[in-house]
Amino acid sequence: MQNSVFIIILLLSSLLQSAIAGDVSTCKQRKLCQFYPFPIGLALDTEKLKYEEVYWNLALSEFSSFTPEQILKASYIHPRENKFMFTEIDELMRFCKERRIRLHGHTLIWHREIPSWMYRKKGSKSEDLETMKQHIDQLVRHCAGKITGWDVLNEAFNEDGTLRENLWFKRIGPDYISEAFRAANTADSSALLFYNDYGLEVPGPKLNAVLKTLTSMRQDGVRIDGIGLQLHITIDYPSKAALEQACRQISEAGFMIHFSEVDIRVTGQKSSKKKQRELLETQANRFATLFQLYRSLPKRQQYGITIWGLSDADTWLNENNKRSQPLLFDEKYRPKPAYCKLTDTTTRN
């Protein structure tokens, strides 16, 4: 008797939970990457790929490109001065090669996730430059031929267009940027080289400064192939017009474009099941707009769209405990309206 009461309570509470979450599973899995003529990427959690079957199935059936979310960042892969941890990336490179999945490298130089030895090892300007170049050279050389493109530099500009005063800027000066790209090019002349940042999805001082700086470096002979727009955005910001304008500016400047870390946060009150459904519909429309816009870019400038996580249970945004449901699959790995819309042949243009 006690047992059946307990089971009934459990059933009721799970029903209540799904009512609050909103019933979001509305279509079957359809292999998202087959719907688009450019690569569709996933920010990959390599641990989940290894240990969670549902994650494995979706990652392999829906995506044609992977960006490791953690394992190429300096603190992870280069924890001591004379030690690179190549085991995991080696395994992943093999895995992707066998399955013809493209691998994108993220990221060589960033102001975060720097190993402590790099902070401690302060030498002369030329020694510091050598330290930075060695990091790039060894990592890129090791992966040469297996990683299609690299985010050579991540988040190096401030909102007002000035350069962020990160470790390498302070030690080497503004030239660290061109030196980083040159080092990557020397290590693998066939990998595509990207600058990656947030806030470039709207026109303004940051985008202008990035374009001006990268263009002038190109004129000096530095190879920079493309720009990654992270696109951690919300269901109502930025406007489609702003995004179109930003993409036009980048495309006219002659860079490839990667929508590199896409997630679209649901903002607003999820007060009722109906409201929750409406918000997820709005999110679906935003994803569709983004994909349509990308499709309209010149083909030779399309590198692909990468989604920053698989399901709403995996998103990095959960780290600050706000439930923003920014991805294509819900917390139980069921397709959300956004996924359904992106794979709906009747509404696609």
Q: How far apart are CB 201 and ligand XIL at their closest, in Å?
A: 13
Q: What letter represents residue 347's amino acid?
A: T
Catalytic-labelled residue, pool 69, 179, 201, 261: 261
Of the pair 62, 69, the CB lying nearest ligand XIL is at: 69
Which CA distances in Å does 217 have to 128, 131, 209? 21, 22, 12
Name which of 101 and 307 has its Cβ closer to ligand XIL.
Answer: 307
Residue among 29 and 70 whose Cβ is closer to ligand XIL: 70
Contact 251, 302 (CB under 8 A): no
Q: Using the 8-state DSSP alphabet, how is residue 312 labeled? A: T
Which residue has its beta carbon closest to ligand XIL?
316
Least distance CB 232 / ligand XIL (angstroms): 6
Q: Which is nearer to ligand XIL, 69 or 188 (CB)?
A: 69
Active site residue 252: no
Q: Which residue has the tokens 């409201």?
A: 275
Give the whole-angstrom CA distance, residue 331 versus residue 96: 26
CB 197 to ligand XIL: min, Å: 8
Q: Give the whole-angstrom CA distance, residue 249 versus residue 307.
A: 23
d(CA 296, CA 323): 32
Cβ atoms within 10 Å, residue 91: 13
Contacts to ligand XIL by CB under 6 A: 69, 154, 230, 261, 316
**Residue closer to ligand XIL, measured from CB, 118 or 129:** 118
The single residue of 62, 69, 155, 179 carrying the catalytic annotation is: 155
Pairing of β 102-109 and β 232-234: unpaired
Instruction: Give the N- to C-terminal CA distance of the chain in Å, as an integer.
Output: 58
Q: Which of 349, 306, 324, 340 is nearest to 235 (CA)?
A: 324
- What's the min distance (Å) between Cβ of 69 and ligand XIL? 5
Is 261 a catalytic site residue? yes
| 303 CA to centre of own chain | 13
* Two structure tokens written together for 215: 């263009």
CB 8, min distance to ligand XIL, A = 39
Catalytic residues: 155, 261
